[in-house]
Amino acid sequence: MINVSIIGVGLIGGSLGLALRNKGYRVTGVGRNLSRLKAAKALGAADFVTTDLKTGTEKADIVVICLPVNLTAKTVKDIAPFLKPGAVITDAGSTKEEVLKGVSSVVRRPGGKIFFVGGHPLAGSEKSGVSAAKADLFRGASVVISGTKGVPRDKAGLVENMWKKAGAVIVRMEAAEHDRAVSATSHLPHIIAFCECLLVNDLDRKDGRVKRLLAGSFKDMTRIADSNPADWAVICSSNRRELSNSLEAFIKRLKEAKKNLGNSGKLEKMFSRAKTARQKLLNI
């Protein structure tokens, strides 16, 4: 039986725990808040729970860090002395270059016998906490694997197989490629949603009737603005270079739309291209 320790048993960590326990893995949940950990165990997301890093990781074959990306490198450094030789650490963070750079000094030191494989499950919701966890959250979802250079194939395979058992589809990408892509597909949409809420709120402060006009379009577009602000501030900051480039590209598109406001024909062509692109991208 494979022992998996999940550090951070919230939406992602809790969903992974639920999925893996259904597939015969032994799951240990590790965190700082004992009451939340007990809740995770009661929901079936872990076999054992603990607030002690040593107790929670010393028997692990795989350690999955499901924490904000700015805490990953420190967590790897903290648990490294406790891990058995051959253990593999992975993460579920939304950025990869900064994470891989941060952990390299620990896992690539001379004589090192632990390994790190970058991971990013493209699944989740605007909800947070283990109460929102679902055993099928990763079914059919893509999980990016990166940073496997220098990692033995069987060790990287442990991580890939774990995600496959949870129902995910593996996508292998270099860290830079991943960060460039998700800056446009994930991080930029969150910034747009947050900014749209601020824009409409400004209007409503001037005219309280505005909130009565909020229907499907606003609700659909801004659903992800209910996400954890602190987590997304960290993610966006971590991917600031690529996100800045995506923002510039998006602003260019907005300027194109603004320029064409007086020409419905050009707007229709632009919107038609966008509609076709969406259908192609989503296979609908």
CATH number, domain containing residue 256: 1.10.3660.10
pLDDT for residue 101:
94
* Nearest-angstrom CA–CA distance, 175 and 178: 5
> In total, how many domains does the chain have?
2
53, two tokens:
């890093």
125 and 148, same domain (yes or no): yes
pLDDT for residue 52:
97
* Nearest-angstrom CA–CA distance, 209 and 196: 17
85 and 72, same domain (yes or no): yes
31 and 133, same domain (yes or no): yes
Residue 218: CB atoms within 10 A of its CB come to 14
pLDDT for residue 112:
62
Sign of CA dihedral 175, 177, 183, 189: negative
Residue owning tokens 């949409």: 189
pLDDT for residue 171:
98
Strand order in the sheet with 26-30: 48-50, 26-30, 3-7, 62-65, 88-91, 115-121, 142-146, 169-172
N- to C-terminal Cα separation, the chain? 40
> What is the span of the domain harbouring residue 260?
177-281
28 and 138, same domain (yes or no): yes
Beta bridge partners of 119: 145
Out of 136, 151, 173, a domain closes at 173
3-state SS record for 156-185: HHHHHHHHHHCCCEEEECCHHHHHHHHHHH
193 and 81, same domain (yes or no): no
17 and 153, same domain (yes or no): yes
Alpha-carbon dihedral of residues 152, 154, 160, 166, nearest 10 degrees? -150
196 and 164, same domain (yes or no): no
pLDDT for residue 108:
64
Out of 119, 143, 173, a domain closes at 173
Q: Which residue type does 46 have? A: A
* Nearest-angstrom CA–CA distance, 60 and 88: 8
29, 46 in Cβ contact below 8 A?
yes
pLDDT for residue 111:
56
Which DSSP string corresponds to 67-115? S-GGGHHHHHHHHGGGSPTT-EEEE--S--HHHHHHHHHHHTSTT---E
3-class state of residue 133 by DSSP: coil
pTM equals: 0.92
Out of 115, 138, 173, a domain closes at 173
Q: In the chain, what is the greatest distance between 2 CA atoms, to the nearest angstrom?
A: 66
pLDDT for residue 113:
84
Q: Residue 210 carries which DSSP code?
A: G
Please identify every stretch of the chain with a pLDDT value under 50, giving residue numbers as ranges: 110
142 and 193, same domain (yes or no): no
160 and 39, same domain (yes or no): yes
169 and 183, same domain (yes or no): no
Angle at 7 between CA 131 and CA 80, to 5 degrees: 180
